[in-house]
Chain A
Amino acid sequence: MSAIYKRELKSYFHSMIGYVFIAFLIAFTGVYFMAYNLNYGYPYFSYVLSGVLIVFVIAIPVLTMRSFAEERKSRTDQMLLTAPVSLFQVVIGKYLAMVTILAIPCAVYLIFPLIIKTQGTAYILADDMAILVFFLLGCTYISVGMFVSALTESQIIAAIGSVGILLLQYLWNGIMDLLPTSAVTNVIGIGVLLTLIVLAIWHMTKNIVIVGGLEVIVLAGCGITYAVKSSIFESALNTFFSKFYLAGTLDDIVSNHLVDVSGIIMYFSLTAVFIFLTMQMIQKRRWS
């Protein structure tokens, strides 16, 4: 694992992507810092970070696009997969290398609250927490980008795919506001979503009895719950999907100075899920 980690880290600096990523992140933060903290005198650095979040939409895909796509295209994956290392070590080695690159600008960010302090009151603990959450959010996005890169042989497609997903994340709250709030539309929406899941199961198993049974349970469940207590369905979709707005945890720190532990647990779980999916994707390719 350490061999892969070291090689990967070095290759980011051989190919300039590492430098560009770090410079891009620090430069943007510097501009926002200048505007918010130095010009307007706002004492919280965390506010800058929530503004810089848009940079992730471009920067993270640039970092992750080549991780597996290029490996596959140049056939170097043959070397990794036939070496006496497990697939988990390969994936983790690559992931940690990307996380290390992200950690460099985040470490530089630690200086900004100190600059604020030289000019007056600074909220160092709150700002450092914000930087940590910002970093963890980046780590989660990296795992998503890495997964997308494992799906394809083309770096460009990997980059566009990741930008699409991260942009969707960025606009998540706005999109969720479009969801209807009334109980009737929500129960129909949930019914349709669960039916889609049942169809996916049908696609995998092709077993009419199980799938038919599941569909009946899903529809009956929705209908009965609605008949008994329709109020649970009010804004149910919105409430459920808002949980997946990952930047929400950072917003909490910025606006309320509260750290939402459940949000951090969400980051870790999603990261684990995407690392697992990346491994599954590579396994799948070996077998098909």
Chain B
Amino acid sequence: MIEVKNLTKCYGKHLAVDNLSFTVQEGQIYGFLGPNGAGKSTTMNIMTGYLGATKGEVLINGHDILKEPEEAKSCIGYLPEQPPLYMEMTVLEYLTFAAELKKIPKAERESQILRVMRLTKLDPVKERLIHNLSKGYKQRVGLAQAILGFPEIIILDEPTVGLDPKQIIEIRELIRTLAKKHTVILSSHILAEIREVCDHIMIIAGGHLVASDTPENLENLMSGTGHVALETKASKEQMEVVLKSVPEISSVKYEETDEHTTLAYIESKDGTDLREKLFYTFADARIPLLTLRLNKSSLEDIFLELTQGGKKQKEAEKKLAGKEEQK
């Protein structure tokens, strides 16, 4: 379990991480999501003890990363953004070094290295110099190094960057296998990846935690922003008259097309589904509907909305703050 409390990190005057607090429970896959420069890597570097925080503390299984670094670090396997590889070593030499560094007992060392190499499919290249490996293989060596010793917590900073689609799928599967026994934290700016792999998403923007929830809950959080797209043969003025009779509508955007039809994007006041009501209203007015479609906001919309400082960001932050208080 990881507890991060009021973490702040300044680089000179630049505030990279701003008062970040969260808790990571055991046995789940956590995803750190955020645009470039949001503070994901900095947070991970602080959690693993590579960097010191300006303020705040990090507890790994109850051990403070600064006060009891060796106990805390032995619970963590870390793959930084750029895999820390010694280019002049072979894969096997490197993993042996990593195993010694992690103080894996001599008797288990060999079997562990073999197991890790099998998991990351490094067997065919184990005698080759890391310098000569392709980017994908280098990434896997970095990953192998991180999971060596099978620490309780595995932290992966953008583990799939630079890999081909097949490798990405393999690594995702590997992460899922690992998650059965370990807590995995991974960061990414790719949404599809996070949604597919993670049980819990933490969205970071500008050094703040703006949302922290399961992917489903996050989508529900934004359900209010779903809108109905409507296309009719009527003119804009006619539609305005008809739509005025529906009190649940909060806003409408019109768009006139070349084929003498009008498009309307309708948002409801409390997030209810207006499709049925709209159908009957237009039927009563004898205006035929060409299209009637509910557009639900996707995780992409949520991400953009939350990270670009919209109204929803503040709402989400409020909700988050409320949750913290309840705890």
Contact = CB atoms under 8 A, between A and B. Distances in A.
A84 B73 contact: yes
B85 A76 contact: yes
A79 B70 contact: no
Given A75-B80, A286-B51, A84 B85 contact: no
Nearest to A4: B101
Q: Which of A2, A75, A79, A86 has the most CB of B within 10 A?
A: A79
Contacts, number: 70
* Secondary structure type dominating chain A contacts: helix
B21 interface: no
A78 B101 contact: no
Contacts of B103: 84-85
A14 interface: yes
A2 B85 CA distance: 19
Interface of A: 2-4, 6-7, 10-11, 14-15, 74-86, 286-288
Interface string B2-23: 0000000001000000000000
Interface in B82-141: 82, 84-89, 93, 97-98, 100-103
Q: Which of A84, A85, A286 has the most CB of B within 10 A?
A: A84
A74 B48 contact: no
B49 interface: yes
A82 B76 contact: yes
A83 B82 contact: no
Nearest to B83: A75
A92 to B, nearest CB: 14
Contacts of B93: 10
Interface residues of B, number: 30
Nearest to B76: A82
Interface of B: 11, 45, 48-52, 69-71, 73-74, 76, 78, 80, 82, 84-89, 93, 97-98, 100-103, 145
Contacts of A85: 70, 101, 103
Contacts of B98: 79
B145 A79 contact: yes
A86 B84 contact: no
Contacts of A288: 11
A30 to B, nearest CB: 29
B73 A82 contact: yes
27 contacts: A3-B97, A3-B100, A7-B89, A7-B97, A14-B88, A74-B85, A74-B87, A75-B80, A75-B84, A76-B84, A76-B85, A76-B86, A78-B45, A78-B50, A78-B78, A79-B101, A79-B145, A81-B49, A81-B50, A82-B48, A82-B76, A83-B73, A84-B74, A84-B102, A84-B103, A85-B70, A287-B51
B78 A82 contact: yes
Contact of A286 (B52, B87, B102): B52
Contacts of A83: 73, 101-102
Contacts of A11: 86, 88-89
A74 B101 CA distance: 18
Given A3-B100, A7-B86, A82-B78, 14 more contacts: A3-B97, A3-B101, A7-B89, A7-B97, A11-B89, A74-B84, A75-B82, A76-B86, A78-B50, A78-B84, A81-B49, A84-B69, A84-B70, A84-B74
Across the A-B interface, the 7 shortest Cβ-Cβ residue pairs: A3-B100, A79-B84, A84-B74, A287-B52, A76-B84, A14-B88, A82-B48
Given A76-B84, A287-B52, A2 B100 contact: yes
A84 B70 CA distance: 5
B313 to A, nearest CB: 31
A203 to B, nearest CB: 17
A106 B239 CA distance: 95
A75 B97 CA distance: 16
